[in-house]
Amino acid sequence: MLIRYTDWKRPVDGDYAFQLRAVATATGPDDAFSPAVPAVGTRSDIRRVAREVLGPGEAERFEQRIERWSGPEDVVGGAGERPYAAQQLTFEERAWCSPLPMHDVDAALRGTVLVLRDGRSGQVDYLLRDHHMLDVALYHYRTTGELPRALFHADRHSDWCKDSFLESRTPPQAATWWSLLEGLKRPGDSAPMLKETDVVFTTAKAERTPDMTGRDVGASTRVPWHVDPVDLPWQRALERPGATGADWVSLDLDYFQPSPQLALTKGLLRDSRFHGMLARAKVRVFVLSPQFTNGGDRIDPWEVQGSLHASLRLLNLLRNLHGNVRVGT
């Protein structure tokens, strides 16, 4: 049977379209939910959260259609344990604190997404091991009823894929979330939660050095057709209309690590526009990406690279940036 071109839908409007429930009001609708911020210490399984915010049958399709990465397979201790090789399924509410201690990094490595809420400003920080942005969006919607308007994203990898990739395989959420965000449909008009054009993306990739581990497979800065490569450096990204007013900010620590990466990106850390963006953003997502923190696009074997202490220092710096920050030389 021939399929007419007019019948074709993009994957994010077909197989990868997931309808969000509406937030309940005094007048309905019946199939709605009431947002609620859990108490500090509450642990939530993202699969249950998805069932509460996606329409009938949508959560099941979501679990079938989209894969989640498991963690690095590091062998720790004499017993040969692999504490990080676990799905990132749990969100845990934490009291706002700064700086974060090392045991919080360890918790994230073990697959727990830490959720830190500032009771004064209402700002929410998410600390993840793997970049599962759809899960973050679902959890934030469940707890606050809020959806993003614009996203500023800094990463060494593009995290973007073509429609043909979605059509040919089950995509990993961590590597394809930028495209898949369009598949989360707002209640009411079923418009995309975020369009690709609502994402301001900056990337930089340092030349490999002999001490970088793993295998470099290239293609780390592939982006949609509408993004001009000349606009990828952070200097140009900050000049995009509305960029510094993004209500969501997503920072992958491999954008700044290892030191050859920092040489390319430390100017962003010093820029007052970036400081203001971080101070105003409602949601800030910090991703450890431990398997990528020593360079390269794909790490073989799949294990923690670089220094966790360096990642912790960088994380605490990013969460507390303000004027006149001094960042290396």
Q: How far is CA 273 from the centre of its chain?
A: 21
- Between helices 133-144 and 46-53, what is the axis angle to 10°? 60
- Extract the tokens encoding 168: 């040919």
CB proximity list for 87: less than 8 A, separation 6 or greater? 68, 70, 71, 111
pLDDT of residue 325: 47
Q: In 10 A of CB 35, how many CB atoms?
A: 15
pLDDT of residue 160: 80
Rounded CA-CA distance 253/135 in Å is: 19
HEC string for 43-86: EEEHHHHHHHHECCCHHHHHHHHCECCECCCCCECCCCECCCCC
Calculate mean pLDDT across residues 144-169.
89
Nearest-10 Cα torsion for 309, 134, 272, 116? -60
Tell me the backbone φ, ψ of residue 294, rounded to 5 degrees.
-125, 25
Q: Grade residue 165 by pLDDT with cuts at 50, 70 and 90.
A: confident
Domains of the chain, residue spans: 10-22+32-73+89-211+240-319
pLDDT of residue 9: 85
pLDDT of residue 299: 65
Calculate mean pLDDT across residues 162-183.
89
Q: Grade residue 328 by pLDDT with cuts at 50, 70 and 90.
A: very low
Using the predicted structure, report yes or no on whether residue 329 has a pLDDT greater than 50.
no
pLDDT of residue 142: 98
pLDDT of residue 327: 47
pLDDT 10s digits, 313-325 = 999 999 998 644 4
Using the predicted structure, report yes or no on whether residue 2 has a pLDDT greater than 60.
no
Burial class (CB in 10 A: 0-12, 13-18, 19+), 103: exposed
Calculate mean pLDDT across residues 114-124.
95
pLDDT of residue 277: 96
Tell me the backbone φ, ψ of residue 199, rounded to 5 degrees.
-105, 120
- The mean of the pLDDT values for the chain is 90
Calculate mean pLDDT across residues 126-130.
97
pLDDT 10s digits, 50-108 = 999 998 899 999 999 999 999 999 998 878 899 999 999 999 999 999 999 999 999 99
Tell me the backbone φ, ψ of residue 47, rounded to 5 degrees.
-70, -35
Rounded CA-CA distance 266/299 in Å is: 24
CB proximity list for 261: less than 8 A, separation 6 or greater? 156, 204, 205, 206, 254, 255, 295
Q: Longest C-alpha distance within the chain, in Å? A: 65
% of residues, the chain, pLDDT over 90: 68
pLDDT of residue 67: 93
pLDDT of residue 33: 93
- Extract the tokens encoding 198: 């609502």
Using the predicted structure, report yes or no on whether residue 256 has a pLDDT greater than 80.
yes
pLDDT of residue 25: 87
Using the predicted structure, report yes or no on whether residue 204 has a pLDDT greater than 80.
yes
pLDDT of residue 79: 86
Of 292, 291, 287, the C-alpha closest to 314 is 287
Most confident residue range from 195-209, 218-232, 308-322? 308-322
- Extract the tokens encoding 128: 């993840």
pLDDT of residue 317: 96
Using the predicted structure, report yes or no on whether residue 120 has a pLDDT greater than 80.
yes
Amino acid residing at 188: G
Q: Residue 179 in contact with residue 160, Cβ under 8 Å?
A: yes
Rounded CA-CA distance 61/54 in Å is: 10
pLDDT of residue 216: 66
Calculate mean pLDDT across residues 177-181.
92
CB proximity list for 257: less than 8 A, separation 6 or greater? 293, 294, 306, 310, 311, 314
- Output the DSSP codes for 166-193: HHHS--BHHHHHHHHGGGEEPTTT--BS
Residues in the chain: 329
Calculate mean pLDDT across residues 256-260.
93
pLDDT of residue 205: 86
Please tell me which residue, 25 or 109, carries the higher pLDDT value. Answer: 109
